[in-house]
Amino acid sequence: MLRRSKMPSPLGLTATNVTHVFGGKEPVVALQDFSLDVAPGEFVAIVGPSGCGKTTLLHTFAGLVEPTDGDVRVGGERLTAPRRDIAMMFQAPTLLPWKTVLGNCLLPRELAHRVDDADRDRALELLAWAGIGGFADRRPHELSGGMQQRVAICRALMGDPSVLLLDEPFGALDAMTREQMNVDLRRMWADSGVTTVLITHDIAEAVYLAERVVVLSGRPGRTLDVVDVPLPHARDLSVIETPEFAKACARIRAYFAREDSHVGV
């Protein structure tokens, strides 16, 4: 179990009527009137076809872009720029190749202030918690893809975030590694209690990981449905064999029956 002494209280995330229009001679409406309330400590997944604005939405949640209309609030405060307590993890682990695993994990603290012994202890604790404590002195090229993503998760949590944003973090992994990473991520979220939003094309991944799944339409992205996932808080891979899991997946999959939807099953 991860010690919570340094982890801040999770914050809620609220999007209200968010619309994104990309300019040019022919403006493109990527998102239209998107609203969502993510409770403190909740895990929400967002699925939708390619080009529906999922990544744009996540960048808005990170404070990297401002919506054309509407607003995003974190802990009740309007988000207008990136915040230190919002961490984002991408499909590629983006580890620095010249740093060790420990050095990569310590990067958020290094950027914030001079690294001290407490920071090193915290990083080693996170790596052990993620099952890679014995690899602290290795370089990224010495690790498998799944291990590199575990380092990336630890690095994100090293910044003590109140909100964690995940953009297809396991999309480049093979099926077996991805399945195990889903189990590990669900455990890590349950231990850390951080408010988490996941973008994914994989319906089964979304249902396994999240408490709720938001279904977006094709561009412009609009909310088609919000599916409450009727699975226990503590989950292992056995839940994918249950009728409840199958029913939730089928409900979401029905929105993407067309062959050109580009949403995984």
Spell out the domain ranges in the chain.
1-85+179-265, 92-159
Strand partners, 195: 163
Q: What is the pLDDT of residue 263?
A: 57
Question: Do the Cβ atoms of 103 and 124 come closer than 8 Å?
Answer: no
- Which residues of the chain are modeled with pLDDT < 50? 4-5, 259, 265
pLDDT tens digits, residue range 167-220?
988 877 788 888 888 888 898 888 888 999 999 989 999 999 999 999 999 888
Report whether 62 contacts 228 (CB < 8 A). Answer: no
**DSSP conformation class of 201:** S
How buried is 198 (Cβ within 10 angstroms: 0-12 exposed, 13-18 middle, 19+ buried)? Answer: buried
Q: What pLDDT score does 262 carry? A: 53
C-alpha–C-alpha distance, residues 16 and 68, integer Å:
12
Q: Give the contacts of 123 (CB within 8 A, at least 6 positions apart).
A: 102, 105, 106, 109, 136, 154, 158
Evaluated on CA atoms 192, 198, 202, 207, the torsion sign reads: positive
Q: Which CATH number fits domain 1-85+179-265: 1.10.10.10, 3.20.20.150, 3.40.50.300, 3.40.50.2300?
A: 3.40.50.300
Label residues 119-135 b or e (16+ Cβ within 10 Å = b).
beebbbbbbebbebeeb
Helix (H) or strand (E) holding 226: strand 223-228
3-state secondary structure 11-42: CCEEEEEEEEEECCCCCEEEEEEEEEEECCCC
Give me the pLDDT at residue 258, please. Answer: 61
pLDDT at residue 4, rounded to an integer? 46
Q: How far apart are CA 222 and CA 53, in angstroms?
A: 9
